[in-house]
Structure 1
């Protein structure tokens, strides 16, 4: 820490607009590097702590506080590979979300592009719906068990009864299953259709999610750049790259 300016605890807190107790919490969590102490027992804060605090705030904007604590604590323990692994996991989550949006959109386009079978324009029992959709009644029961279909029960008899919306849902499930889509994607498509009720709104919602995902990705990119600059200032990246 030779040559670095010393900071008082209150000034470190003021640099980020937080309380002194939050600074102490960040120290305890490893978000900030360890401090030395004066002979009288006071913590010694330096420019590095202020830089680490600024990086932590930027990291939290992109990755959230849980992953920020994980990454910076690993860095300050000298475990850079663990920090990089945590960062990679965060970017992998975004990649998974992006792929899921694409798959849901693809499945939705499959539904719109498919040739819909004529479904009853009134409440219908399971046998009639199965015949119209082209599957066995046992298949409809299985989809109901998985939460994909929600028929109601007829009073007195207990027979399953499908209204027009549920008959359409059965058609969607059958179409997507024939296309090889997994149940989680089918569930997502049905949820979208049930929540919006209109195909154009589904498309708009998926587009909105994709744009938000892009914004989150950019925030993480900025966070990673800030972290790299912090590591570069302390010489951290050079060690693994040099094989030392």
Structure 2
């Protein structure tokens, strides 16, 4: 909040908040309308007047967005401004839990890649129902992945059923892990094709490195957002009348 005077008793205009954060005055008004900022007081002529805690609120919201996303950051701020701080902190905790789950998924994908090796087609086969059950998916999902070129099961000559070799199962497991990591099918398809044809994991390893960097950046952003939120909560506490 560089350039903002946030001393107690100071009244700020929308343009003051906007300029300090590189926003438009309309954006500031929109944030107030969405409950991200507390409601402003009005001057005798009807102009919005903000207090220092509004500056802290805007700083907290903008700091929360990179780590939690716009929607979650807005929900956190609305909860704080409605006085239900416990709910706000629970939402923060849920984001951290999701980040931890994403880290575990990344670890699982990396482990799966380490174990990737050419698998003899004749070593074992399965069908769409058992494979879907094994992965916790619907058979329709496996068929969708097949249409996208991610899976290439052969068809039984007599029954027409899809038959998945161990190599197909490996591909399905890898697709499943990468989907859990947030990757779209169109991004996964060329990687699966390269792993399948080249017998190497270098393309996927590059993706994992990028994924790790994004998780690290998100974790750092969450720390920054937590610090800004704590500053805002402190400003709100300081602005409350002394009960004594």
Q: 1:99: how far off?
A: 0.6
User: 1:92 aligns to what?
Assistant: 97
Q: 2:26 aligns with which of 7, 21, 25?
A: 21
**SS state of the match for residue 116, structure 2?**
helix
Unmatched segments (≥5 aa) in structure 1: 120-131, 237-244
How far 1:81 moved relative to its partner? 0.5
Question: Over residues 70-123 of structure 1, what are the superposed CA-to-partner deviations in whole Å (9 max), with x where a residue is unaligned?
Answer: 0111111111011001111111111111111111111222334xxx5434xxxx
Counterparts of 1:45-60 in structure 2 under 5 Å?
45-60=50-65
Bigger Rg, structure 1 or 2: 1
| Alpha-carbon spacing, 1:133–1:186, altered in 2? closer, same or farther (3 Å) | farther
Bigger mean CA deviation after superposition, 27-36 or 144-153: 144-153
**Which one of the candidate residues 177, 191, 194 is aligned to 2:192?**
194
Q: Which residue of the partner structure matches residue 217 of structure 1?
A: 219
TM-score (norm 1): 0.71
**What is the aligned length?**
209
Displacement after TM superposition at 1:134 (Å) = 2.2
Change in CA separation of 1:70 and 1:196 when aligned onto 2, cut-off 3 Å: farther
- Aligned with 2:228 (options 220, 226, 229): 226
Cα RMSD after superposing both structures: 3.6
Give me the whole-angstrom Cα distance separating, in 2, the residues matched to 1:168 and 1:188: 21
Q: Point out where structure 2 has 5 or more consecutive residues left out of the alignment.
A: 1-5, 133-138, 146-150, 239-244
Deviates more, 1:192-201 or 1:70-79: 192-201
Task: Give how far 1:2 is off.
Answer: 9.5
Provide the rounded CA distance (Å) in 2 between the counterparts of 1:205 and 1:117.
23
Q: CA deviation at 1:159?
A: 5.1
Q: 1:134 aligns with which of 119, 124, 127?
A: 124
Q: Once the 2 structures are TM-superposed, how far is the Cα of residue 42 of structure 1 from its aligned partner?
A: 2.4
Q: What residue number does 1:208 align with?
A: 210
Distance in 1 separating the partners of 2:11 and 2:178 = 58
Q: 1:48-127 maps to which residues of 2 (within 5 A)? A: 48-112=53-117, 116-119=118-121
